[in-house]
Amino acid sequence: MKHSGLRKPLVLSALCAAMFFPALSAWAVTDQEILDDVNSTNQIVTNGMGLQGQRYSTLDILNTDNIKDLRPVWAMSFGGEKQRGQQAQPLIKDGVMYVTASYSRVFAVDARTGKELWQYDARLPDDIRPCCDVINRGVALYGDLVIFGTLDAKLVALNKDTGKVVWRKSVADHKAGYSITAAPLVVNGKLITGVSGGEFGVVGKIEAYDPKNGELLWTRPTVEGHMGYVYKDGKAVESGISGGEAGKTWPGDLWKTGGAAPWLGGLYDPETNLLLFGTGNPAPWNSHLRPGDNLYSSSRLALNPDDGTIKWHFQTTPHDGWDFDGVNELVSFNYQEGGKTIKAAATADRNGFFYVLDRTNGKFIRGFPFVDKITWAKGLDKNGRPIYDETNRPGSPGSETKGSSVFAAPAFLGAKNWMPMAYSQDTGLFYVPSNEWGMDIWNEEIAYKKGAAYLGAGFTIRPLNEDYIGVLRAIDPKTGKEVWRQKNFAPLWGGVMTTKGNLVFTGTPEGFLKAFNAKTGEQVWEFQTGSGVLGSPVTWEMDGEQYVSVLSGWGGAVPLWGGEVAKRVKDFNQGGMLWTFKLPKDLVAKR
């Protein structure tokens, strides 16, 4: 949109304002709409299709009987030469779709036609330091604003009609290795974000901002020993040290550059009023340099959204020596057992174990492997702590150039990485995108230098099977049973969605958006998008018809870090497309 610099007469300006603001306020996304998003069918205003992140839709217009008639209605290119990995989930409000693309771009698109309404392109500096491709995972909507994070660690709020900047806030120093790739979260009028940068020795943190103006409300470091603050009238008030004591589970000063970045962002459970975040790897990767559990790295955290205090934590990989992280989404769900409702939360960790926790207090309920091969641990104890096989921890370099190499499974890219799973309220199953691979890994000496990679390890990733790496699994969280699986030659690196129509959607690096029968795992539909599908699909209802949308564009961490695996995907085409499908009204079977 272009804007004239001419000054309008006062009367005309007042008339325009009177006409404009009622429509604007009618659009505005409210806290109640955000809370109700899990049940809405005509819009999607949260990342996760609901704050708890179940990625489940109550729509059943589209189902296993008629999905063969699902067809593309429009596709839009993100254009330019910036065709890297596309990992965002679209949001839809009043017939307009809002989505991010690689290199910190935002698009507003007419959801009926695919016409671009506006585009915002962040002016990124040349020295950004993203570890794992120049991706972005989506926007937040609040009031009349479209808010997202950038690769140079800024939050930017845009006017929903024009794409013009309303406010811009620097969250951290990108020259120290910080960035933002996660979709922000709005809870109780607060804009919540995590940061990326664990590979650069940053100090992870979760922060809350005023979404109206970008003012910092509270900050909570996620490395033990750092002070949290609440801001009142622009002044910082201490809100307690994370973990209560500096260096308690860290040696020396390593807690000062401890990593634990919450780079995937978080979810929120209204029933317990808790933010649920995961944290990344401790820095450096070389675990021999940092004896101890290294809190709060590779953990799940529950925080009070009002002030950021940590209410409970659960560490999936204490003293992580394999870069297993712990950022994977912690999805809230309820189930019945012994005549009682269990308020649970589930996560499929990069380390290969699936965990079910009591989300009211973080206590371990059960855990079990969800991939075929785990070598770094022999199992979990009664509290969910891993029972290590120390022969499969990479050795200390000592006086050598590098320590002894071990073969560990899963690989550091994880049994499951960032790509979100889905939970069906109908089947009671989780649908988990997973990968079967391992790695040769060894440790090296390393010293911290601001803004430089801080690994202290080397690695080569290898497939465990000749005919597949990716496996879409249906998992029963009450029993640990795998109900069905679908194999894929290339690694699965995209999100999953499930619907009341007994459908499960996900994409593949080979370019297909696919749908499966949620109960049996039978593939019932596929469409070739032209590039790898890494985004998270969504579905909504508009004009009486059910739509499905997803981003297509190959990239992400696999081709950058994948070792032998990268050779399998080296010929996949990059892209940058937004695809939308629908089931036409005249083809909807009468039910």
Residues 329 and 267 sit within 8 Å (Cβ to Cβ)? yes
Give the DSSP per-residue string, 127-183: T---SS-S-----EEEBTEEEEE-TTSEEEEEETTT--EEEEEE-S-GGGT-B--SP
CA distance 213 to 151: 20
Closest by CA position to 110, among listed 568, 543, 588: 543
Rounded CA separation 55/43 (Å): 13
Looking at the annotation, which residues are catalytic?
Answer: 323
Beta bridge partners of 565: none
- For residue 260, which phi and psi values (nearest 5 degrees)? 55, 40
Of 165, 51, 185, 153, the C-alpha closest to 106 is: 165
d(CA 394, CA 369): 22
Burial grade of 367 (CB within 10 A; 0-12, 13-18, 19 or more): buried
CB 80 within 8 A of CB 105: no
Dihedrals φ, ψ of 251, to 5°?
A: -85, 150
The neighbour count for residue 570, using CB atoms within 10 Å, is: 9
Helix or strand or coil: residue 198?
A: helix
Evaluate whether 143 touches 159 at the Cβ level (below 8 Å).
no
Omega cis (within 30) before 270? no
| Cα 491 to Cα 88, 166, 316, 515, distances in angstroms | 18, 39, 23, 17
- Number of other residues whose CB lies within 10 A of the CB of residue 68: 12
Q: Among all chains, which residue has been given the structure tokens 């009204």?
A: 585
Please choose, from the candidates 549, 535, 411, 574, the residue with its C-alpha nearest in 3D space to the C-alpha of residue 43. 549
| Kind of pairing between the strands at 377-380 and 386-388 | antiparallel
Tell me which DSSP letter residue 184 carries. Answer: P
List the one residue out of 482, 279, 281 whose CA is nearest residue 372.
482
Q: What is the 3-state secondary structure of 45-67?
A: CCCCCCCCCCCEECCCCCCCCCH
The helix/strand/coil state of 12 is: helix
528: which 2 tokens? 């070739």
Residue 310 in tokens: 């940590």
